[in-house]
């Protein structure tokens, strides 16, 4: 079992940011990555539909003999995790919401936390609930930032268009912090800045696996003082801890190609766009077309 691969599932290519973090955190492991590209995006679909799709994908991955299942999709984690845990037994199942919520609670001083995500994740309320479970006095605001997904997939994650869209979504959330950050340079009076800061989140959770691609534009829009929590890195840490606790870490170094790619549609598009997300070339021949 220790030598078995880790199954990683996402609606498309976004989860490759999680896979990248996993491969860095666990360099000995093998992976099977499944992108349900035929049915993406999950972020605008109803909870029932997403839960059904996520369960089908998780079942498909279990047939590859995986020792651990990572739901590397915020929307699927948000609404599909209970159904997946109820139907798939014997392997640890790790979503991206819990690790992200934990990291946000650890990072935030004020307990005022902003979450940006897809429509489906925001509406499902899973981040809000997970954060409040860990820190009952927290104040969470969640904002759908749907266009970030299309921007990342179009390769327009940097530049003036990304900057203006990031401003459009984030200035309403962080306006006070931006004002106080710039006024600190101009004035020594801390009075009004403190009271406005209290209304402004000090931590921003990137609640969609596409969003780390837009980190530069997001940072520019919120200024230097807000902490950014990227659930890819926190999920990779949670997976490592789980494998260690359950004595499931792989012992030998991996084979030369330790990642197997599966997609439900257009292997060419998966390879082309996925290469940006994984930050290494994926060739269409490496991607297997599967039917769920």
Q: Which residues are catalytic?
A: 73, 208
Q: Is 171 in the site for its own copies (CB under 8 A)?
A: no
24 in Cβ contact with 238 (< 8 Å): no
Name the residue nearer to its own copies (CB basis): 10 or 153.
Answer: 153
Candidate list 59, 154, 171, 279; residue touching its own copies; CB under 8 A: 154
Find the shortest distance in angstroms from Cβ 264 to its own copies: 9
102 in Cβ contact with 134 (< 8 Å): yes
Which residues, listed in sequence order, are joined to residue 9 by a DSSP beta bridge?
34, 71
Candidate list 131, 151, 173, 217; residue touching its own copies; CB under 8 A: 151
Candidate list 28, 49, 182, 187; residue touching its own copies; CB under 8 A: 49
Q: Is 275 in the site for its own copies (CB under 8 A)?
A: no
Stretch that binds its own copies, among 17-25, 94-102, 155-163, 198-206 (CB under 8 A): 155-163
Find the shortest distance in angstroms from Cβ 74 to its own copies: 17
Please give the DSSP secondary-structure letter assigned to residue 108.
-
Q: Is 44 in the site for its own copies (CB under 8 A)?
A: yes
Q: Is 21 in the site for its own copies (CB under 8 A)?
A: no
Return the axis-axis angle of helices 97-107 and 231-245, rounded to nearest 10°. 110
* CB-based contacts of 189, cutoff 8 Å, min separation 6: none
Q: Is 164 in the site for its own copies (CB under 8 A)?
A: yes
Tell me the site size for its own copies, rule CB under 8 A.
26
Candidate list 45, 67, 210, 250; residue touching its own copies; CB under 8 A: 45
Nearest alpha-carbon partner for 35 in 3, 7, 63 = 7
Stretch that binds its own copies, among 105-113, 141-149, 204-212, 232-240 (CB under 8 A): 141-149
Q: Is 119 in the site for its own copies (CB under 8 A)?
A: yes
Find the shortest distance in angstroms from Cβ 56 to its own copies: 13
SS3 labels along 218-269: HHHHHCCCCEEEEHHHHHHHHHHHHHHHCCCCCCCCCCCCCEEEEECCCHHH
Name the residue nearer to its own copies (CB basis): 164 or 187.
Answer: 164
**CB-side exposure of 168: number of CA atoms within 13 Å?**
11
Torsion angles phi and psi, residue 166, rounded to 5:
-60, -40
Find the shortest distance in angstroms from Cβ 93 to its own copies: 25
Find the shortest distance in angstroms from Cβ 125 to its own copies: 16
H/E element, 118: none
Q: From residue 67, give the alpha-carbon distance in Å to each of 12, 20, 87, 166, 219.
A: 22, 18, 15, 38, 36
Please give the DSSP secondary-structure letter assigned to residue 144.
E
CA triplet 131, 141, 204: central angle to 5 degrees?
75
Q: Is 284 in the site for its own copies (CB under 8 A)?
A: no
Candidate list 266, 275, 290, 292; residue touching its own copies; CB under 8 A: 266
Candidate list 269, 275, 284, 290; residue touching its own copies; CB under 8 A: 269
135 in Cβ contact with 110 (< 8 Å): no
265 in Cβ contact with 38 (< 8 Å): yes
Candidate list 160, 224, 253, 256; residue touching its own copies; CB under 8 A: 160
**Can you tell me which residue has the tokens 């606790």?**
245
Please give the DSSP secondary-structure letter assigned to residue 121.
H
> Which positions lie near its own copies, rule CB under 8 A?
37-41, 44-46, 49, 119, 146-147, 149-151, 153-154, 156, 160-161, 164-165, 168, 265-266, 269
């Amino acid at each position: 079992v220790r030598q078995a691969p880790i199954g990683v599932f996402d609606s498309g290519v976004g989860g490759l940011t999680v896979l990248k973090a996993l491969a860095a955190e666990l360099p000995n492991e093998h992976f099977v990555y499944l992108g349900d590209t035929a049915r993406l995006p999950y972020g605008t679909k109803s909870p029932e539909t997403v839960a059904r799709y996520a369960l089908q994908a998780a079942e498909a991955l279990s047939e590859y003999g995986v020792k651990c299942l990572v739901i590397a999709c915020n929307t699927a984690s948000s609404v599909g995790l209970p159904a997946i845990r109820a139907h798939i037994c014997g392997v640890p199942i790790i979503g991206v919401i819990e690790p992200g919520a934990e990291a946000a609670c650890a990072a935030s001083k004020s307990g005022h936390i902003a979450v940006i995500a897809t429509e489906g994740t925001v509406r499902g309320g899973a981040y809000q609930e997970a954060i409040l479970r860990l820190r009952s006095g927290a104040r969470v605001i969640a904002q759908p930032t749907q266009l970030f997904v299309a921007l990342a997939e179009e390769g327009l994650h940097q530049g003036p268009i990304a900057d203006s869209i990031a401003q459009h979504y984030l200035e309403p959330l962080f306006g006070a912090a931006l004002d106080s950050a710039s006024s600190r340079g101009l004035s020594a009076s801390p009075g009004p800045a403190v009271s406005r800061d209290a209304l402004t989140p000090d931590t921003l959770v990137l609640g969609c696996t596409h969003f780390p691609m837009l980190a530069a534009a997001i940072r520019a829009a919120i200024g230097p003082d807000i902490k950014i929590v990227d659930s890819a890195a926190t999920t990779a840490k949670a997976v490592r801890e789980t494998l260690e606790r359950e004595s499931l870490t792989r012992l030998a170094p991996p084979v030369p190609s330790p990642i197997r790619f599966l997609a439900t549609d257009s292997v060419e598009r998966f390879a082309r766009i996925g290469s940006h997300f994984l930050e290494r070339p994926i060739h269409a021949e490496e991607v297997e077309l599967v039917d769920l």
